[in-house]
């Protein structure tokens, strides 16, 4: 096969030694080309060029942001995407069943390629930007913005503690969580009427899930909607309140600690099999896809795009229903 390896040399767990070992393994049985990213958005252009050149597979060694960029370059083409964990969290790679060690994951990836374990999956989208596992509007996007402002070496080496510190700081100083800033309306599979923007559930934080878990804290997945898989449309969870007394039991349950889980109530709304949604805000709110902050907006349109991308899937992956 013709394979392009895209490497983000700035990703938190990418080292020169790891890169060399992976290159040797991939080139043993495949025609390999290697390209390193140098700026934001570079992986999208590299992936687009690979598809135009007839590459069979684009392998990404980097974090979730680099993987998202490559997916955006490959969506709608016949070139498959393959993930190798190179970031601090590697949500998507772990969700589809890859080991968190990049060299070990390369072995699993090569086994999948040999077995032709490639599946066409659906993607979520906000406007013209696709997402692999989730998009966030409101609070979590504000957290991502704070992390990126402190980025560089601090993000590379601090990892999860940086995100936790940023979440606390954002809650206290950088995001107005007292009053809902937007409303979420949606249309699920089988419903013919489009969402009515004049109604909807009020929120301070919404996450649109293309799969589950939402993220990982250490070795534990934060599972908000377990039935969300790469075989289904989107799930959308909207929080009306960020009160610690309400949030902590839900997040503890999502981590498998206790029994409280996310479910529709007066302050949290869970919708599944969503094919389209609209977010209308009373003030500009931040938004992010797959952990990349993309700015602020007052209107956002979300949709599910079925059969959008070929994905190399590890054997016995549990990411499908």
What does the pLDDT read at residue 256?
81
134 vs 180: CA distance, rounded Å = 21
- Report the candidate in 105, 80, 129, 115 with the shortest Cα–Cα distance to residue 25: 105
Residue partners of 309: CB distance under 8 A and separation at least 6: 71, 74, 75, 76, 81, 120, 121, 123, 130
Does the pTM exceed 0.85?
yes
- Residue 101 scores a pLDDT above 90: yes
What residues pair up with 287 in beta bridges, in sequence order? 137
What does the pLDDT read at residue 162?
67
pLDDT digit string (tens) for 126-161? Answer: 999 999 999 999 989 988 888 877 665 445 444 566
Percent of the chain whose pLDDT exceeds 90: 71
pLDDT digit string (tens) for 209-230? Answer: 999 999 998 888 999 999 999 9
Fold of 2-116: Rossmann fold (3.40.50)
282 vs 248: CA distance, rounded Å = 27
Q: Do domains 2-116 and 129-306 have the same CATH topology?
A: no
Give the domain ranges of the chain. Answer: 2-116, 129-306
What does the pLDDT read at residue 153?
45
- Residue 259 scores a pLDDT above 60: no
CATH architecture of 129-306: Sandwich (2.60)
pLDDT digit string (tens) for 6-47? Answer: 999 998 889 999 999 999 999 999 999 999 999 999 999 999
């Amino acid at each position: 096969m013709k394979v392009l390896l895209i490497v983000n040399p700035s990703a938190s767990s990418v080292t020169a030694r790891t890169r060399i070992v992976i290159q040797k393994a991939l080139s043993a049985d495949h025609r390999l080309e290697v390209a390193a990213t140098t700026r934001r958005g570079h992986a999208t252009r590299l992936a687009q060029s690979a598809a135009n050149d007839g590459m069979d597979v684009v392998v990404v060694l980097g974090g979730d942001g680099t993987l998202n960029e490559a997916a955006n370059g490959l969506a709608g083409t016949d070139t498959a995407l393959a993930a190798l964990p190179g970031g601090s969290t590697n949500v998507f790679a772990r969700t589809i069943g890859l080991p968190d060690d990049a060299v070990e994951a390369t072995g699993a990836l090569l086994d999948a390629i040999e077995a032709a374990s490639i599946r066409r999956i659906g993607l979520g989208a906000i406007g013209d930007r696709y997402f692999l596992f989730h998009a966030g509007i409101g609070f979590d996007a504000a957290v991502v913005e704070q992390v990126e402002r402190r980025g560089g070496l601090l993000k590379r080496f601090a990892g999860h503690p940086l995100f936790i510190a940023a979440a606390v700081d954002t809650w206290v100083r950088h995001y107005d969580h007292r009053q809902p800033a937007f409303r979420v309306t949606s249309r699920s599979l089988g419903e013919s009427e489009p969402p009515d923007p004049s109604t909807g559930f009020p929120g301070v934080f919404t996450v649109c899930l293309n799969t589950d878990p939402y993220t990982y804290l250490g070795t534990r997945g934060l599972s908000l909607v377990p039935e969300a898989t790469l075989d289904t449309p989107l799930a959308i969870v909207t929080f009306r309140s960020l009160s610690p007394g309400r949030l902590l039991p839900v997040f503890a349950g999502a981590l498998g600690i206790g029994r409280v889980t996310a479910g529709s109530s007066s302050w949290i709304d869970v919708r599944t099999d969503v094919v389209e949604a609209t977010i209308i805000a009373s003030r500009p709110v931040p938004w992010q896809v797959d952990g990349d902050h993309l700015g602020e907006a007052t209107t956002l349109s979300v949709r599910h795009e079925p059969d959008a991308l070929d994905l190399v899937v590890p054997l016995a992956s549990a990411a499908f229903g």
